[in-house]
Copies of this chain bind each other. A is one copy, B any other.
């Protein structure tokens, strides 16, 4: 994989410095920075991907109500320009992180071309993870609206503990990568307080606790959409990494 990557980056970049710069900017999560990069590269490298965080017909009434609430207080990303107005910013979400980094359209054809992001791997809308993440201007807080589809079952009629952990990893990891991309999950500690019904819409709130050198600490809770019922509490630790960490396996 490393060899193929090097070859591809060699095609895209004529100097070693440039290669190194580009490698460092390959992101592994859906971050503000990814969209910024997307806009900066030639269109041949970045055909318009489907953004899974936009409404689709499977979104129920509660999902749409919450989406409209946060979206009405949001602004689109401004590509590195100073953000103005709006308390929240919506994050786009794709079915592969690699594909949308610089040169990623080609990389994704070479490296595990069939691979798909775990939370976006099912075509049928509404059957698995439907979610959208917003973050505050100071990036201290994220909120995710999550509608749980019928393919996420654990206990009868309720969401699997692994699917809950998956959403926590996704939201907290996205949050950490806003501050320091790329990152890898080092620890997830999840306390399950009450089960989440299939088909329901819940809120996942993520708070940046602290940053220490390569470490980013995030805490998180899942509540009913009106905040009255606590479903899950969690903490997460992420480490910033170099791309080579992954390439060398």
Q: Chain A: residues with CB nearer than 8 A to chain B?
A: 1, 26, 28, 96-98, 107, 111-112, 114-119, 121-122, 127-128, 150-163, 165-170, 173, 182, 184-192, 195, 197-199, 246, 249
Contact = CB atoms under 8 A, between A and B. Distances in A.
B162 A119 contact: yes
Given A118-B151, A157-B112, A246-B195, A165 B188 contact: yes
As for how many copies of this chain the complex holds, the number is: 2
A169 B190 CA distance: 11
Nearest to A235: B189
Nearest to A245: B195
B169 A166 contact: no
Interface of A is mostly: mixed
27 contacts: A28-B154, A28-B156, A111-B156, A111-B157, A112-B153, A112-B157, A115-B151, A115-B156, A116-B150, A116-B151, A117-B154, A118-B152, A118-B163, A119-B160, A121-B122, A121-B128, A155-B182, A156-B246, A157-B246, A160-B169, A161-B188, A162-B163, A162-B169, A165-B166, A187-B190, A188-B189, A197-B249
Given A121-B128, A188-B190, 13 more contacts: A107-B156, A112-B156, A112-B199, A116-B150, A117-B154, A118-B151, A155-B182, A161-B166, A162-B165, A162-B167, A165-B188, A185-B192, A186-B191
